Structure formats: C-alpha cells, structure tokens
Amino acid sequence: MLPPGSTIGILGGGQLGRMMAMAAMQLGYRCIAYAPPGDNVAADACADIFEKGWGDRVALAAFAAKCDVVTWEFENVPLSAVAAISGNLLACPPRALEVAQDRLNEKGFIAQLGGTSAPYTRVESDEDFVRALNAVGTPGILKTARDGYDGKGQWRIASDREASGVRFPGKPCIYEGLVAFEAEFSVILVRSREGEVRFWDSTANRHEGGMLAQSVLPAGALIEAQVPQARELAAKTAQALGYVGVLTLEFFATKGGPVFNEMAPRVHNSGHWTIEGAATSQFENHIRAICGLPLGGTATRFASIDMRNIVGEDALSAHTILAEAGEPHLHLYGKREAREGRKMGHVTRVGHSLK
C-alpha cells in the first residue's frame, strides 16, 4: 500500500488527470503531472507540473524521480515516454497502451479473447482502400490506425459514390464496416493489484459527431441483457493485460449481441456520472487500485442518472444550469479557450436516491 503523503505522477495534463488528482488529494496523496506545454488544466489540482515534450528524457527522468507511482490519463502517451520511466514505478504494464494505441492491434487482441468486432481490414495505400471497399463494402468508416479520438481521424462513407471522394490520408488506417446497432454502451471496471475486479453499471451512450454527448441510466432492457457478455470480455481483457486501475470497453448493442467498438485503458468520459452517482467514483477507485488500497463499492446511488458533456462555447453560459430544479451537478474543467468541439465540462442530473 502506498502511504498517505506519497506522490502520484500523472502522464497527461487534461481534465481526466485533473479529476484523478482531485480524488487523490481526498485520499491524502499529492500529484504531479507531465505534459507538453499547453492548456494543462490538471495543473490546477497538482502540486507541480513538468511542461516538457514527450521526447525529453532528461525531464521525464526528473519527473519520475519525484514519483512513488506513475499512471496516465489518456492512451496516446508515446510508448517511448513510458519506456523512459522505470517499470517499478508504473502502476500498470505498458502493454495496455501498446494495444489501445493501434486500432488494428486492438481488434486482433480482442478477437484472440473471443470478442466480436465490426468487419475490418488494414489500409496502407490507395490500392488497399479500393480493396477494402470491395471486401467490406459500404457503408463504412475509414479511420487512422493511431491517434484518433472523439471522432477525429475518421471519414464516414455512406455509399460507393461517396467513397470516390475520399482519399487515403497517407498514414496507416483501418476500414470498418458500419454495425447495425440499436444502442451504444460502455463497460467500466476497476481491477486491483491482486486481480479483484468490480464493475459500475453500464450507461446508454449517445454520440454526436463521433464524440460522446450523453450517458444515461437506466440503460434499457436491450443493453442490460447484453452487459453480462460484455463484462466477461472486459474482465478477460483486464486479466490478459495484467491491468491495474480503471479500464473501459465500448460496445454496440445489436440484435445479435454486443459488438466491441474500442477500449480505453483509463478513466472514461462515460464514467463521469460516478462522481455523484456511484458509491465510489471511477477516479477514486483508480487511485485506490494503483496505490494498493481496498477498492470501493461501485453500486449506483440513484434511480436515474443523466450525464451530458458541455462543449465549446456552451461553457460560457453553463452556470445558468445551477438555477435548474433538481440540484444539477456542474463540473467545468477550467480550460481557457472554448473552441468548437472541445470538451469544457459536464453536468450530471440525478433522480431520487435508492437508499
């Protein structure tokens, strides 16, 4: 167990790191962050931040020297940066990042565990793209194999005619057939150092432009019927990775059962509702897990929960939400610039208590 007063290092400077650091403070830990220069809002909740490039091995070594354990807040931290930190400090093996950073690796890994994904094929040239269209068909989505998130690096192709206007972007990609789904949901778990696994209830998720817009509970009968099978795959994934902390798998709920979409080896946007809505939040349980503390309960505390993201300039008037009935819980991340498509905060509304 990591004693109170120890230092947790966070790779990344965004809102997920910020909320992890807030949870860590509650448990008596201090946090420091490492991120390239920018609007690093995690710094507001950290004792220190190293604003250096991912390739600065001297700075990474200085950062690591101040840490008792190191975690990450997003899956696209370069593996070279993680490799510069002693394996004894890492809360979780970097294998999780290796898998999640490449969509092709991710699909293959999940297939080995028995999971079902959308039909897909590798695309590394214009000729590959033509072959992919012939093999998988349309509609489909062309995605960069690496570095895509929140709908970035994706091109939706509705028909063969539309495909003629899309060009290979010059970097490795994956082409996926569209899944005929009824709903989308996520499975979020926490796994301890000893291998104990606990799940939060799965929310129904709604996306806009490839970005999560809303997560709600109850998720509905269709999703609830498919959660056990999805949880089984998520637990296998965590065990195969030797994972410690919070892990998220996203699924499509189809008439034939759950279809895997993608994984995130970290706390997740669709779990923000757990701050107010669960016995223990995803952020606190992540800190508990990586520090060797007993895991907290994950039971849902309210009969209904609705979490919505606040994006772009909507943040400028977000405080008006506080005048609503029902005591909405507003979280603004402190980002300086309200750009279009940028997550600025979220609001969680809850129904009556289940106690």
Is 261 annotated among the ligand-binding residues?
A: yes
Any known ligand binding at 90?
no
Please check if 103 is assigned to a binding site.
yes
Per the annotation, does 184 bind a ligand? yes
355 is annotated as contributing to ligand binding: no
Q: Is 154 annotated as a binding residue?
A: yes
Using an 8 Å Cβ cutoff, are 82 and 10 in contact? no
The count of residues in the chain is: 355
Task: Assess whether 221 and 295 both reside in one domain.
Answer: yes
Determine, yes or no, domain membership for 103. Answer: no
| Strand boundaries in 218-295, DSSP class E | 245-254, 257-264
Distance CA 52, CA 58 (A): 10
Q: Is 124 within the bounds of a domain?
A: yes
pTM value? 0.95
Tell me which residue range forms the domain holding 65: 7-91
Task: Indicate whether 164 and 301 sit together in one domain.
Answer: no
Residues 217 and 279 grouped into a single domain: yes
What are the distances in angstroms from CA 320 to CA 268, 316, 325?
Answer: 26, 9, 11
Element (H, E) at 24: helix 15-26
If asked whether residues 146 and 259 sit together in one domain, one would say: no
Q: Please give the average per-residue pLDDT across 1-10, as a whole number.
A: 98
The alpha carbon torsion through 331, 334, 338, 340 (nearest 10 deg) reads -50
Is 226 labeled as ligand-binding? no
Tokens of 333: 């991340």
Judge whether 151 is annotated as a binding position.
yes
- 207 among annotated binding-site residues: yes
pLDDT single digits (tens) 268-279:
999 999 999 999
* Total domain count, the chain: 3
CATH number of the domain that residue 140 is part of: 3.30.1490.20
pLDDT tens readout for residues 279-292 = 999 999 999 999 99
Is residue 114 assigned to a domain? Answer: no
Q: Is 87 annotated as a binding residue?
A: no
Residue 216 lies inside a defined structural domain of this protein: yes
Q: Are residues 19 and 70 in the same domain?
A: yes
Residue 205 assigned to a binding site: no
Say if residue 105 carries a ligand binding annotation: no
Residues 189 and 173 in one domain: no
Q: In the prediction, which pLDDT does 230 show?
A: 99
The answer to whether 308 is annotated as binding is no
User: Is 168's pLDDT higher than 90?
Assistant: no
Position 161 confidence tier, pLDDT thresholds 50, 70, 90:
confident
Share of the chain above pLDDT 70, in %: 99
Element (H, E) at 159: none
In a domain, 41, yes or no: yes
Q: Give the pLDDT confidence of 45-92 residue by residue, as tens digits.
A: 999 999 999 999 999 999 999 999 999 999 999 999 999 998 899 999
Is 337 part of any known ligand binding site? no
Local confidence band at 308 (pLDDT 50, 70, 90 cut-offs):
very high
193 plus 302 within the same structural domain: yes
Q: Which of 111, 145, 177 is the last residue of a domain?
A: 177
Residues 127 and 222 in one domain: no
**C-alpha 96 chain-centroid distance:** 12
Residue 148 resides in a domain: yes
Q: Are residues 202 and 316 in the same domain?
A: yes
Is 288 in the same domain as 311? Answer: yes
Alpha-carbon span 137 to 157, nearest angstrom: 10
Which DSSP state fits 136? Answer: H
| Average of per-residue pLDDT values in the chain | 95
Of 55, 74, 91, the position where a domain reaches its end is 91
Residue 18 placed within a domain: yes
Task: Indicate the pLDDT class of residue 345, thresholds 50, 70 and 90.
Answer: very high
| CATH number of the structural domain spanning residue 198 | 3.30.470.20
Q: What is the CATH number of the domain that holds 22?
A: 3.40.50.20
